[in-house]
Amino acid sequence: LAAAPGSADVALTLERGGGERHVSVRPMQRPERVMLDPADEIQETLEANLKEVASGAGGHPGLVVADLVRGGRGEKARYKNGDIIVGVDKKSIKSFETFDDVIRSSYREIFSNDVSIDRRFGSSYVLKLEVRPEGQDKVTREYVNMFPDFLAPPVY
């Protein structure tokens, strides 16, 4: 699209399953930077899926590592399927929402849209994750996010 932000709507025709649909899209200014939600970012960095484990499910509440890519970044960082992230920086984690909230409140300057914030420094943050490997005692692992400073965010 060559339309400038704020210009008139652009008419698009979408084709799917043999049918057409007409939509109009208003061009917008692309954000200066693209930040993933912390829960999405850690899954991309570890090359794994995380799933919420409820406290009544018979295990420890937290975010369980699943579908870890063999030979990927998460495996190289000693994560295994079944590991449960139970805390971040000594704060208990029971859901994606609390995971995001803890990180966003600790790193407000990174996630802020305030234009007055100095952006000369990267968007990286370092966390102390409390991880309970399957069948073992809790361990602490250092975690550094990789998006967008080291790797580009995925485009869907």
Distances (CA, A) of 35 to 58, 112, 118: 34, 10, 16
What are the pLDDT digits (tens) for 2-16?
A: 667 778 888 999 998
Of 5-9, 87-91, 103-107, the least confident:
5-9
CATH class of 38-113+120-144: mainly beta
What are the pLDDT digits (tens) for 31-84?
A: 666 778 999 999 999 999 999 997 765 678 999 999 999 999 999 999 999 999
Can you tell me whether residue 88 is helix, strand or coil? strand
What are the pLDDT digits (tens) for 40-51?
A: 999 999 999 999
Residue with tokens 């407000």: 108
